[in-house]
Copies of this chain bind each other. A is one copy, B any other.
């Protein structure tokens, strides 16, 4: 379906770019956790490919793209090498990394939704898998690094909402047969811009109402 919108080569280049920036975020966490070079590579691969791997297993697209496209596998290794040698430079460019990560988020929620729909899932399930594609790698990254996933922490800027909005736009377009190059681009850009705004203005999601003690404020 996306083939009508983007040529396969453009689509592939965007995928590689998203994989690269997600891998950078995984590799940087590995450095902060003091992992060795293999830990850096493992966390880069897990972060970059975990979301798509989960999606492909659920829709039955085996072997998953992560294992059939050599570029998908080698890109995170390149990111890991880069961070291994140059992580002080990469960290100094944290803003750039965050912007690329937002772009990856926008791209993956859209392509994940489209791929799931192409495999015959319903609209809600497709949008859910699009969301899972976009955020799954980060959750796996945090689980392997033995941390509470940043996705579910109240003290982090909104991450799920931009992806939900992007996936929902695609699902609505699929519903009304209006998915084309323009609407696809619109969904990607909307998710991307929402994530940038969430970071800029520190938008956060509410925690449960009526939490009893203020002590909970300090909890993790």
Interface residues of A (CB under 8 A from B): 30-31, 33-40, 42-43, 53, 57-60, 62-64, 67-68, 70, 73, 83-85, 87-88, 119-122, 124-125, 128-129, 139, 143-149, 151-154, 160-161, 204-212, 216-217, 219-220
Q: Are the CB atoms of B70 and A35 closer together than 8 Å? A: no
> If A208-B84, A211-B31 touch, does A58 touch B68 (CB 8 Å cutoff)?
no
Q: Are the CB atoms of B33 and A219 closer together than 8 Å? A: yes
Q: Are the CB atoms of B33 and A68 closer together than 8 Å? A: no
Minimum distance in angstroms from A217 CB to a CB of chain B: 8
CA distance A126 to B124 in the complex (A): 30
> If A42-B152, A43-B152, A152-B43 touch, does A36 touch B206 (CB 8 Å cutoff)?
yes
Q: Are the CB atoms of B160 and A152 closer together than 8 Å? A: no
Using Cβ atoms and an 8 Å threshold, which residues of chain B touch A206?
A: 36-37
Residue of B whose beta carbon sits closest to that of A27: B208
